[in-house]
Chain A
């Protein structure tokens, strides 16, 4: 949909579609075995080489300065095949954007232009939550050298076991609100747990971490973390929606193909009208998801008023469409859809995992109505 109206995005689509076909589609099941099987390091390195890990970053920082629509086109096409890589791209973009929004130029220049591989280019962060809502955060204290030290636990640090650096939300002792800190994950004062075995996106790993006076640098101002998160997530919600749209379309394509191959009662199952109805519902949802992502991108890029809220609305709706559709995507394949040698069960899991990006969906809805009604942001009020 985006490329139909923005032909300049076509190269991104072609690149992502070809990458997905070549590097992901035939090995989805194998890549999904992580953490019980090997991690797809080579695929990640190739994604880094073609620029997928720096879509929103300016070129002088080692990115490709593609803009949010380009990111959405890439995530859509990648997630049709395997949304684990989409989760990595998304999480890294979130961390980069928070740093950019905070004008952490020194840190940005220190990490991204100098990175020589994917690991060095990745910045871990807890992308499956709104840090202001539910996470027990570490605490930060000023150290003698002008920096900070972090103490305590952080659950579900995404990319925590594969990234060189991390962007950590923490509370500064004696100060309201939360703040973001950048830190090197290689130090002894950072204890990482085993990769967490999660519902979906198996190859987008997360770990629990414990900080024991771990050195860190403040990103932005003390207490500015929630505002930074809100500003950036307002944009990246649409990227999460693009991931769901990709999963949905991948599920629909697989179901449609299967319905032409599988026979029941003497004819292709697509000719049974109840199966047609399942497929039709998926097709409608895929189209609506595309429209939502395209319109939200347009609102973001044109600087429309309420663009952040529109992006959240699009994301909430597309995530719901996707979760419903992937259920039918398994159902069309019957027992085969439940088995790992078909891709549908993975999409069923991944859809729910992606829905949790940037926080729980009911609270996203509450935030939408409070914005429309002109009421105070309840997360900000809670500080």
Chain B
């Protein structure tokens, strides 16, 4: 046997043991309660599919072609009734506190029937991620309490996230690119807050969400140094809704243009600004901003992977049903050897995609932003203590400066760079792997089904249309490949540089 120093030395070589084999390392730390909780979540998703998604998916897709201005209020209300918008909100903020990784399985389930409806349910959590990653506990509490109250009152309160601009998509997701990009959303510091001017585009559920996480910069020439994140609410003076994009797929989930004209945002709605960021850490602002962005995309990209896996699974299930019911050249299609191999290939794609988001979730749970919630004592503490305890004992503490300071220290100052890279790299790996297989399986299903697959009323062509979008949002798959290289490969090559090509 090798000595401990020898083992450590060999395992530190590229690829580092601790950046690979994540499930092997972290499965033993998994609280057992998470398994039962996840079983419940999957069953809930399947029930929702039976009662809502499956009966509505094609009807609503058709409706959006007949009426491009359609907005999915009835789906939002149904999801709100079922408590989906606070399901993955931690109990200390009033939510149900279901473990975060279970959301990926939920996404795959609902996504296997309709990615558009899944996004109506799920993109709210992109907003939640943008809100919570700021660690601004008083503001997080204020907004998430409205989400929870919305479920009680039957008036849904959703959160969107607005980052993409007409001239800047990929640029705004990478601190290394943003200073060279065409960022135009300006935040001017004034007494008591900021005044925002500019447009945001492709904002999923922008028309339907009450709150929006909004980003702007105080200096358009130095965006990475001057980024400001705020919460804005529909109805605020200077905040209006523009056009509703005419998309190829996921049409039930609107992609909105948001317009800000001299929109004043008071200090109490500022998530962070350069000054507040450096209050708790001496690290450069651009490093802290990249960490903030990484926290968001590290949790949302595995979710997008799960959407791709959902598409892959939906396509597989359609192809399987078709092959089982159809005769080809005088015998059941399912009994042709090549068909069996195609179906096996599609099934394999689904399973590999699922493994990718599972690994990425392990990275988030133990090396990323979920790590505190997944520590066994804290997990059970949150799971079994009654909501009233959190409301009465914990909630008042969240308003205190000390809470905000502690969370900022933990996540922005003390958190390790290697852990950031691991979570972000795996999230990117999952994102482009799962979404590529989503489109791949749709292509295979269509080739197998031929004419039957072309009809909207058969369902599979819609999955192909829907699936293409997941290769684009949450960073194009090209950007995600570069991020994987940056996070998991480049650290082993001293002279490797990313985003410096000109």
Residues on A lying within 8 angstroms of B by beta carbon are: 36, 126, 128-129, 133-135, 155-156, 196-200, 263-267, 271-275, 278, 323, 327, 330-331, 334-335, 337-341, 345, 348-349, 352-353, 355-356, 359-363, 366, 378-379, 381-382
Contacts and interface: CB of A to CB of B under 8 A. Distances in A.
Interface in B488-502: 499, 501-502
A129 B328 CA distance: 12
B188 to A, nearest CB: 24
Contacts of A348: 248, 468
B472 A331 contact: yes
A71 B481 CA distance: 42
Contacts of B50: none
Nearest to B465: A349
B468 A338 contact: yes
B181 A265 contact: yes
Interface of B: 62, 65-66, 164, 167-171, 177, 180-182, 201-202, 245-249, 326-330, 338-339, 342, 439, 443, 446-457, 461, 464-465, 468-469, 471-473, 476-478, 481-482, 499, 501-502
B465 A36 contact: no
Contacts, number: 149
A265 B246 CA distance: 27
A360 B449 contact: yes
Which residue of B326, B450, B464, B501 has the most chain A CB atoms within 10 A of its CB atom? B450
B454 A362 contact: no
26 contacts: A128-B451, A156-B451, A196-B455, A197-B456, A198-B461, A263-B167, A265-B171, A267-B180, A274-B481, A274-B482, A327-B468, A330-B472, A331-B478, A335-B202, A338-B469, A349-B464, A352-B446, A353-B454, A355-B447, A356-B446, A356-B453, A360-B449, A360-B450, A362-B448, A381-B330, A382-B329
B182 A363 contact: no
B455 A198 contact: yes
A271 B502 contact: yes
A338 B248 contact: yes
Nearest to A340: B246
A335 B164 contact: yes
Nearest to B499: A265
A352 B471 contact: no
Given A155-B451, A199-B456, A360-B450, A264 B181 contact: yes
A274 B483 CA distance: 13
Contacts of B443: 323, 352
A38 to B, nearest CB: 14
B501 A129 contact: no
A333 B329 CA distance: 42
A156 to B, nearest CB: 5
A128 B453 CA distance: 11
Across the A-B interface, give the 8 residue pairs with the lowest CB-CB distance, nearest first. A266-B180, A360-B450, A199-B461, A382-B330, A345-B248, A382-B329, A128-B451, A340-B246
Contact of A265 (B167, B177, B452): B177
Given A338-B472, A340-B246, A356-B454, 4 more contacts: A129-B450, A265-B177, A339-B245, A382-B329
B472 A335 contact: yes
B170 A362 contact: no
A265 B167 CA distance: 11
Contacts of B180: 265-267
Contacts of B182: 263
Contacts of A199: 446, 453-456, 461, 464-465
A197 B476 contact: no
A267 B62 CA distance: 40
B355 to A, nearest CB: 24
Contacts of B439: 327
Contacts of A266: 180-181, 502
Given A197-B65, A271-B502, A331-B476, A356 B450 contact: yes
A352 B452 CA distance: 12
Nearest to A269: B170
B342 A335 contact: no
Contacts of A381: 329-330
A277 to B, nearest CB: 9
A197 B454 CA distance: 9
Contacts of B66: 36
